[in-house]
Amino acid sequence: MNKVCELLGIKYPVVQGAMQEVATAELAAAVSNGGGLGIIAAGGKTADQVREEIQKAKKLTKNTFAVNLMLMDPNTPEVVKVVIDEGVKVVTTGAGTPKPYMKDLKAAGIKVCPVIPNVKIAKKMEEMGADAVIAEGMEGGGHIGVLTSQTLWPQIADAVSIPLIAAGGVGDGRGVVNAFVAGAQAVQCGTIFSIAKESPVGDNWRKLVIDATDTSTIVAGATIKDASRIIKNNIANKLTELELDQVSRDEFNSVMNEGLRNAVQKDDVDDGLVFSGQVSGLIKESLPAGEIVKKLMDEAQEVLNKKIELV
């Protein structure tokens, strides 16, 4: 049996990315019902709001789902208590170290899967007791590191003994196979699930992603060491100008967060921020989340069934 499927209690080795404002209970439950691992994003939410999302997901699915912790959030201790109290089985983490919470999470029987950008941090997470690592290359949408997936994944696979979940640039079955060849036991996809039928984004967001090409995204925030991949639009231009003006990280992130809310809540994709990966150019339709999971698996099997001639 696939190592990640066995570890997390899922049917298919497909994990939905933890996209702030987008990764809701409805989306997470739909992915989990489709056999993957749906994730609720706790970032930007109060502990009570996270509890509400978890309880909502429980009503929508009997399958395993996860909660993503944005560790830089000041209310993380309260959110961790909620996650444990609600009996969540899997947690993914980002934007900080899970060390202060690892003992309590593990004692509660929760599988902990940190998102990591390089080999050094992957090794630290394994030593800390992580059950798996999610290695995200810079092709992905949202917050990213500096290494490409193609260089990052195999080095992580060689460096740790715990399972690798590959993220950043997986948008179809070819990407799934590529990740497995590089040493992964599962993939995490964000962009393709961001426009799933159960996603809270509006028609303008969906159209922007579907109409995107291979060059439609840029990286914003690299100079303040908080790089994010987003689709080019008015706010992307504004963020570029803010970087050139060398504004503070807090001011920069304030503009980003407001832009993200405008994009999700108002469907404003001109002055709203749209996190999206370089695979946007591959995505041509919005499908139910469960169909996306199955399509990724079917396409991957088709690739594996092909005869590849090297010489």
Per-residue model confidence (pLDDT) at position 285: 92
Class of domain 3-200+278-293: alpha beta
Selection from 92, 90, 133, 80 nearest residue 110 by Cα: 90
> Whose CA is closest to 18, among 155, 164, 165?
165
Q: What is the pLDDT of residue 26?
A: 96
Predicted local confidence at residue 56, as pLDDT? 95
Provide the token pair at 58: 């429980």
Q: What is the pLDDT of residue 240?
A: 87
Which H, E and C letters describe the chain, residue by residue?
CCHHHHHHCCCCCEEECCCCCCCCHHHHHHHHHCCCEEEEECCCCCHHHHHHHHHHHHHHCCCCEEEEEECCCCCHHHHHHHHHHCCCCEEEEECCCCHHHHHHHHHCCCEEEEEECCHHHHHHHHHHCCCCEEEECCCCCEECCCCCHHHHHHHHHHHCCCCEEEECCCCCHHHHHHHHHCCCCEEEECHHHHCCCCCCCCHHHHHHHHCCCCCCEEEECHHHCCCEEEECCHHHHHHHHHHHCCCCHHHHHHHHHHHHHHHHHHCCCCCCCCECCHHHHHCCCCCCHHHHHHHHHHHHHHHHHCCCCCC
Instruction: Give the whole-angstrom CA distance, residue 103 versus residue 23.
Output: 26
CA distance 146 to 142: 13
Q: What is the pLDDT of residue 88?
A: 96
Q: Dihedral sign, CA of 107, 113, 114, 119?
A: positive
- Extents of the domains making up the chain: 3-200+278-293, 217-266
Strand partners, 131: none
**pLDDT at position 47:** 93
Per-10-residue mean pLDDT of the chain, 311 residues long, equals 93 93 94 97 91 96 95 90 95 91 94 95 95 94 88 96 96 95 96 95 92 92 84 89 84 84 88 90 94 96 83 72
Residue with tokens 């702030």: 20
